[in-house]
């Protein structure tokens, strides 16, 4: 594909290319000086590549794949933008070429993520987490979120947080996510363990979104039991936290 440049759909001082590159344009400043444009660096520290630019004295941040897609396609961006997804066709989130991007719904994105062979329990748990990510996708955009289900909390009142698996640090001990979403299923929601499908309202007993650091602090100071075996074949070790501790923490933080 040849590299073609167009104006960023929301700013005429920035250009994007069909190869996923970003640059500032040459322009004359208000005082008559010439501003020489240059490539804009792209940051890949988060899930998607992002860049920033300043326009009329205000700084903005944007995902590269959305900038490329909407700049080259004359499509009105819905007000509830989290209902649609600019999808990477080859699943490589660093490949922001125009021919690798397509517009799909949040539901289609979840279904696409489930189109893989479940050859291990790890893959099953991974996709179950992605199912939850689709459900909360409308809440946050471009944030790193780790989603964890507990299918026993509805009867035990405890939420299990893993920190070790097969003798190696895992879960809360190694996460790089900024937020954790904890989802406790109802008895009906336990069906998801046997057959993946779209989440329904009565599958969820409660869900809590909290900063990872807050959850780590709870695990250190408010646990009910520690060194608890769990997971598939009891190969994991974790902490049990009373659900009322989670809910009280959430209420306190959000009510301040």
DSSP 187: T
Instruction: Give the chain's end-to-end CA distance (angstroms, integer).
Output: 53
Q: Are residues 102 and 160 in the same domain?
A: no
Taking the C-alpha atoms of residue 195 and residue 215, their distance in angstroms, rounded to an integer, is 29
Q: Are residues 220 and 243 in the same domain?
A: yes
Q: Are residues 125 and 241 in the same domain?
A: yes
Q: Are residues 36 and 132 in the same domain?
A: no
pLDDT tens string, the chain, 256 residues long: the values are 899 999 999 888 899 999 999 998 877 666 767 667 788 999 988 789 999 988 888 999 999 999 999 999 988 776 665 567 899 998 899 999 999 999 987 667 766 665 544 444 555 565 666 666 665 554 455 567 888 999 999 888 899 999 999 999 999 999 988 889 899 999 998 888 888 788 888 899 888 888 899 999 999 999 999 999 987 778 999 999 998 888 776 444 434 4
- Total Cβ atoms within 10 A of residue 92: 10
- Domains in the chain, number: 2
Q: Are residues 98 and 122 in the same domain?
A: no
The torsion angles phi and psi of 146, rounded to 5 degrees, stand at -105, 130
Which residues, including other chains, have CB under 8 Å from residue 16's CB and lie 6 or more apart? 5, 6, 8, 22, 64, 67, 68, 71, 72
Q: Are residues 168 and 250 in the same domain?
A: yes
pLDDT at 256: 41
Global pTM reads 0.47
Q: How many separate helices (H) and strands (E) can be counted in the chain?
A: 6, 16
Place of tokens 């699943």: 91
pLDDT at 118: 41
Q: Are residues 123 and 226 in the same domain?
A: yes
Q: Are residues 75 and 195 in the same domain?
A: no
Q: Are residues 121 and 37 in the same domain?
A: no
pLDDT at 16: 96
Q: Are residues 147 and 178 in the same domain?
A: yes
Taking the C-alpha atoms of residue 93 and residue 245, their distance in angstroms, rounded to an integer, is 37
Q: Are residues 121 and 235 in the same domain?
A: yes
In a domain, 146, yes or no: yes
pLDDT at 119: 42
Structural domain of 122: 116-255
pLDDT at 254: 39
pLDDT at 33: 73
In a domain, 111, yes or no: no
DSSP 31: T
What CATH number did the domain enclosing 90 receive?
3.90.75.20
pLDDT at 117: 40
């Amino acid at each position: 594909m040849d590299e073609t440049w167009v104006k960023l759909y929301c700013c005429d001082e920035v250009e994007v290319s069909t190869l996923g590159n970003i640059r500032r344009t040459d322009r004359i400043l208000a005082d008559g000086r010439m501003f020489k444009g240059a490539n804009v660096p792209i940051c890949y520290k988060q899930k998607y590549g992002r860049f920033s630019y300043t326009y009329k004295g205000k700084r903005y941040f944007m995902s590269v794949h959305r900038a490329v897609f909407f700049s080259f396609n004359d499509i009105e961006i819905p007000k509830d933008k989290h209902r649609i997804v600019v999808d990477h066709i080859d699943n490589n989130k660093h490949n922001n070429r125009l021919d690798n991007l397509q517009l799909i719904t949040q539901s289609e994105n979840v279904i696409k993520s489930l189109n893989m062979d479940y050859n291990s329990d790890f893959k099953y748990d991974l996709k179950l987490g992605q199912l939850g990510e689709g459900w909360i996708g409308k809440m946050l955009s471009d944030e790193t979120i780790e989603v964890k289900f507990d299918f026993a909390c509805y009867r035990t009142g405890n939420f299990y947080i893993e920190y070790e698996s097969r003798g190696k640090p895992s879960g809360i001990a190694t996460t790089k996510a900024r937020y954790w979403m904890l989802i406790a299923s109802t008895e009906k929601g336990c069906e998801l363990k046997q057959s993946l499908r779209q989440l329904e309202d009565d599958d969820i007993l409660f869900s809590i979104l909290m900063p990872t650091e807050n959850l780590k602090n709870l695990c250190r100071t408010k646990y009910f039991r520690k060194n608890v075996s769990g997971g598939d074949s009891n190969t994991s070790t974790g902490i049990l936290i009373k659900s009322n501790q989670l809910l009280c923490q959430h209420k306190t933080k959000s009510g301040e």
